[in-house]
């Protein structure tokens, strides 16, 4: 069986077709070829269009098919990796309400800092394993204050990978891993953090159905399968952000194992 991997990056969409038996890549492609634009309306702001990601995903899949190195009917499952912390907002009809506030946008820092103080340092570090910082919950708090007309229309919030899976399948899900990226997950209680939700004044119903990372996150719809020359019903069986993928690739799987990411100063 062949596997289709989709990476929703900031600069472009990358896709690979992998032989499930040998775990070797058969073909890869990216779209666009040049780095994708980041919209910065003010200093420190960074946004991208989720619908732009979706169009690029489809173009990348069509492009990798053009390699002619495999039969697309042999693809039996799809996995998705993605840029972490990006905020995607959908209304009740599944329409995108605004551009995604992505990982490198810093406008929400004051909201996270205030939450850190109010919820409490010890509580945050014990239960959330982090400060609310500039993560997804704080980004949503910024939308609530500055764009109330958009906030009131929100039916579901999600991260970039959740959005692409939703467009592929019509099913909206998330994971504990994704919620932890947004500082929505209480590790002490192993559930959505009531403290974070209550502090920011969010309705917990805007958080999608929770499923395991390694589980089915919907099946490829007929219309999308036909458009992308794939089989209807292929399961989306994995979704995770860049750092969980990094840990997985390094076999950092047990308590006490550590994977560290650092930036070299320019």
Token couple for 203: 């309705």
Query: What was the pLDDT predicted at 264?
Result: 64
In 3D, which of 31, 27, 29, 24 has the Cα closest to residue 70? Answer: 27
d(CA 122, CA 41): 36
Please give the CATH topology (third level) of the domain spanning 2-245: Nucleotidyltransferase; domain 5 (3.30.420)
Domain ranges of the chain: 2-245
Give the pLDDT confidence score for residue 265 in this predicted structure. Answer: 63
pLDDT at 246: 84
pTM metric for this prediction: 0.95
Structural contact between residues 61 and 225, judged by C-beta atoms closer than 8 angstroms: no
Q: 42: Cβ–Cβ under 8 A, 6 or more apart, which residues?
A: 107
Taking the C-alpha atoms of residue 73 and residue 79, their distance in angstroms, rounded to an integer, is: 16
pLDDT by residue (tens digit) across 104-163? 999 999 999 999 999 999 999 999 999 999 999 999 999 999 999 999 999 999 999 999
Nearest CA to 232 out of 75, 4, 67, 6 is that of: 75
At residue 41's C-alpha, the angle toward residues 35 and 46, to 5°, is: 50
Tokens of 162: 């959740």
Kindly state the tokens that stand for 40: 């910065």
**pLDDT tens per residue across all 266 residues of the chain:** 999 999 999 999 999 999 999 999 999 999 999 899 999 999 999 999 999 999 999 999 999 999 999 999 999 999 999 998 999 999 999 999 999 999 999 999 999 999 999 999 999 999 999 999 999 999 999 999 999 999 999 999 999 999 999 999 999 999 999 999 999 999 999 999 999 999 999 999 999 999 999 999 999 999 999 999 999 999 999 999 988 888 888 888 888 888 887 766 65
- CA dist., res. 192 & res. 204, Å (int): 8
Dihedral of CA 259/186/144/241: which sign? positive
The pLDDT assigned to 173 comes to 97
pLDDT of residue 187: 96
């Amino acid at each position: 069986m062949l596997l289709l991997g989709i990476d929703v990056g900031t600069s472009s969409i990358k896709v690979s077709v992998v032989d499930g038996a040998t775990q070797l890549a058969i073909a890869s492609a990216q779209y666009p070829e040049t780095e994708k634009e980041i919209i910065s309306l003010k200093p420190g702001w960074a946004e991208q269009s989720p619908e732009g990601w979706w169009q690029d995903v489809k173009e990348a899949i069509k492009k990798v098919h053009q390699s002619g190195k495999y039969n697309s009917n042999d693809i039996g499952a799809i996995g998705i990796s993605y840029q972490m912390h990006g905020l995607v907002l959908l209304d009740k009809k599944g329409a995108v309400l605004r551009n995604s506030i992505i990982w490198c946008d810093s406008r929400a820092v004051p909201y996270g800092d205030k939450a850190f103080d109010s919820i409490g340092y010890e509580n945050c570090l014990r239960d959330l394993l982090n400060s609310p910082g500039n993560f997804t919950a704080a980004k949503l708090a910024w939308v609530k204050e500055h764009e109330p007309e958009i906030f009131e229309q929100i039916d579901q919030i999600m991260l970039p990978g959740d959005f692409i899976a939703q467009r592929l399948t019509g099913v909206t899900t998330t994971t504990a891993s994704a919620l932890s990226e947004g500082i929505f997950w209480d590790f002490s209680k192993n559930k959505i953090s009531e403290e974070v939700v209550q502090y920011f004044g969010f309705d917990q119903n805007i958080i999608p159905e929770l499923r395991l990372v390694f589980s089915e996150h919907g099946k490829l719809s007929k219309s999308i399968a036909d458009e992308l020359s794939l089989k209807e019903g292929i399961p989306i069986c994995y979704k995770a952000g860049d750092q969980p993928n990094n840990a997985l690739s390094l076999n950092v799987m047990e308590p006490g194992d550590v994977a560290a990411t650092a930036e070299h100063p320019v």
